[in-house]
Amino acid sequence: MTSQNLHIGPDAAADRYRLLRSIGRGGEAVLYLAEIELAGGSEPVVVKVLDSKTTITPDEFDRISRKWNEQAELLRFVHRPGVVGVREHFEGPPIHRSGESGTLTGRALVLVMNHVDGLDLRDWRAERNLATAAERREVMRTLEQLADVLDWLHSGKATPSGRQVIHGDLSPGNVMVDGHGQATLVDFGLSKLTADHQTAEVWFTPGYAAPEVFDGKRTPAADRYAFGAIAYFLLSGESPPNSPEQLARAMAALPQIAVLDPERRERITAVYAGDPTQRPVSLAGWMKDVRHAVVSTTSSTSQRAVQDAVPAPVPVKPVVPPQPASPPPAAAPVHAPAQESAYSPPPPTRDSWPQPQPQPQPQPQPQPQTRPEHVPAGYGPTYPLHESPPPGPSAPKKRRAAIVLGSVATVLVIAALAVLGVRLLDKDKGDDRAAGGKGGSSASDAAVPEEESPTPSPSPSASESGSDDSGATPDPTASGTQPGGVAADIKAADLTQLTPIDGLGNFTVGAAKINTKQYGAAFIAHPDCNDEAITEFDLNREWKHLEFTAGIDDGSTNAKGRVSISLDGKPAAFSELVELGKPATKSVDVTDALRLRVKVDMGCDNGTVVIAAPQLTR
């Protein structure tokens, strides 16, 4: 319909709501966008109208009226983000022109809900192709919001008496997503109590209805089946098949799900079980498996982004003496003077260059490559690079052999000096190690004359380890590395780059934004109603301070959350409730601590807590 100055309202104010246009059908009723005049201005609302003309008999209308009033009154108790607010419900005159309510016969049942400005899930999904990690995370956040609110409704926490509330017609058309990313369940016109209520009417959305809905039963398990169908729709972009078996096979065939192990794949497809008792009870728990499948590539991408953003410590490479030149002259390039070793003897003068001797050629040979004028004899080939050297006089060979032997001798002397230098550097702590039985170098080791030193091994491991050849157990600090695996000369470390003791739990590592500031490395907590986010690290008594910024991610649905930092199982060294837009930058003393625990409390109403830029310093 289009606006024709039509109204609806209770008997005492029949023209209270002006109907603007029809926006859909919710089960047995029609939905309208309407407006109400308040304080000199108009506010939008959504009005759901069930006209008596749609019923068969007056008795049938009375029966539906009782159910309608029961569920509408129940919904007025439900107040939380993710569930549309109910303003009022009433029975009154049917839709009419202004001032003409008294001229019509019949009655209408009306439910008035708050208007959610946004897109329904069908249009919202049409704008996303899930090609990027950001869009996959958006889908996961939307599904997790719906899972949390459905678990809350089914738990009985929504009503003072503890009675469970179900939606009854969950589908993409009954979920609205606003500009802030908040998903909201709307059109609860068919929600029922959890008693297995039987009804003659069958109202459902094909593909999203569990098998028992065809028998008129609507239970929390039916809502969970419909939620699983919505998950399939968001991940595939296609309408779900009508039967549970087909839907389970289609979900398992999605690329993100097909690569999982059979056990996890079976846990995911269990939500489509034909038997309601076989479906998972917690949708939030079910979403953990789905998130692992969908955003596993996103997590690895985030890790790479963090690694790219945080420069890794530059390793200190040991000085390795230059290797002796290979005896075959073919190994020397044409531009050999640019590659001469600093330790090689100076090349002979131009006057001493040997004159090339003509050699008998048994067969025609390719034209030899001409030596550049600036390349001395013995430093470059006079024959084609792809062939073996032709026979020549012994004088150049002897000169080249002398150069090679001189280079080898120089290398050996330098290597011996390097070993002697390592022993001299090790002298200061050699006495302590010798006294402690750790096999370190003693002062007498450093006094060994150079000619009495054993010939050093050319193996790179010897020069890299800096240890002597006594065969004693090496000191773990000899290489400058602490037992925790962080080099002793590193004065600061990013906690997100260290390996947790038992995994990250409900944390992920990635980029986050707190109070408009972007952080490249942060712990992002994803606790649910029944679980908290905890991770622990082994500090090995190596660090003195932990500095970090704790806050709520700017894109979080909820605005608060509590983060705690504790050491060695003691009471929390830091525990604070952080709020959206109010980050806390802290420094915690971790001197002599063995173990660090980071924790974010559980809670359905928690925001996305972020511990950003956590830095350990010595």
Residue with tokens 């096999």: 439
Question: What does the pLDDT read at residue 61?
Answer: 76
Q: Tell me, what's the pLDDT at 336?
A: 40
Among the listed residues 224, 205, 328, 310, the one whose alpha carbon sits nearest the alpha carbon of residue 273: 224
Alpha-carbon torsion angle 600, 603, 604, 607, nearest 10: -40
Q: What are the residues facing 509 on neighbouring strands? A: 523
Residues of the chain with pLDDT under 70: 1-4, 26-28, 52-56, 188-204, 296-409, 411, 413, 415-416, 418-489, 527-528, 530
Task: Write out pLDDT tens, residues 202-260.
Answer: 456 789 989 988 887 788 999 999 999 999 999 999 999 989 999 999 999 999 999 99
Give the C-alpha separation, 502 to 513, whole Å.
27
139 contacts 128 by C-beta, under 8 angstroms:
yes
Closest of 238, 229, 189 to residue 210, by C-alpha: 229
Of 388, 338, 346, which is closest to residue 368 (Cα–Cα)?
388
Residue 481: per-residue pLDDT: 43
The residue written with tokens 């010897």 in the block is: 462
Strands (E) across 545-608 are located at 545-552, 560-567, 574-579, 584-589, 595-600
Q: Are strands 609-617 and 492-494 parallel, antiparallel or unpaired?
A: antiparallel
pLDDT by residue (tens digit) across 253-312? 999 999 999 999 999 999 999 999 999 999 999 999 999 888 764 444 444 443 444 444
Residue 250, both tokens: 């289609």
The letter for the amino acid at 127 is: E
- pTM (two decimals): 0.48
Residue 80, beta-bridge partner list: none
Token pair listed for 13: 């104010």
Nearest to 189 by CA among 156, 224, 218, 162: 218
CA–CA gap between residue 600 and residue 574 (Å, rounded) = 12
Give residue 454's pLDDT: 44
How far is Cα 602 from Cα 583, in angstroms, rounded to an integer? 19
CA–CA distance from 77 to each of 153, 156, 220, 459 (Å)?
A: 11, 11, 18, 78
CA 26 to chain centre: 37
- The candidate with the shortest Cα–Cα distance to 225, out of 159, 277, 155, 174, is 277
3-class secondary-structure state, position 125: helix
**In contact, 87 and 44? CB cutoff 8 Å:** no
Residue 100 is given by DSSP the state -
Provide the pLDDT for residue 450.
Answer: 41
**Residue 370, Cβ neighbours under 10 Å: how many?**
7
Q: Which two tokens stand for residue 100?
A: 């003409």
Cβ of 457: how many Cβ atoms within 10 Å? 12
Residue with tokens 């690895």: 300
Note the pLDDT of residue 9: 94
Q: What are phi and psi of 331, to 5 degrees?
A: -75, -15
Answer yes or no: are the C-beta atoms of 356 and 423 closer than 8 Å: no
Q: Rounded distance, CA 179 to CA 117, Å?
A: 8
Q: How far apart are CA 385 and CA 363, in angstroms?
A: 18
In the sheet with 560-567, reading across from the earlier edge strand, the strands are 533-538, 595-600, 560-567, 574-579
What is residue 158's three-state secondary structure? Answer: coil
Going by their DSSP bridges, the two strands 118-120 and 175-178 should be labelled as antiparallel
| Domains assigned to the chain | 2-115 (3.30.200.20), 119-294 (1.10.510.10), 317-328+375-383+395-469 (no CATH), 492-617 (2.60.120.1060)
- Helix/strand/coil for 73: helix
Q: How far apart are CA 260 and CA 245, in angstroms?
A: 19
| Per-residue CA distances from 375 to 343, 370, 397 (Å) | 19, 10, 17
List residues bridging with 566 in a β-sheet: 597
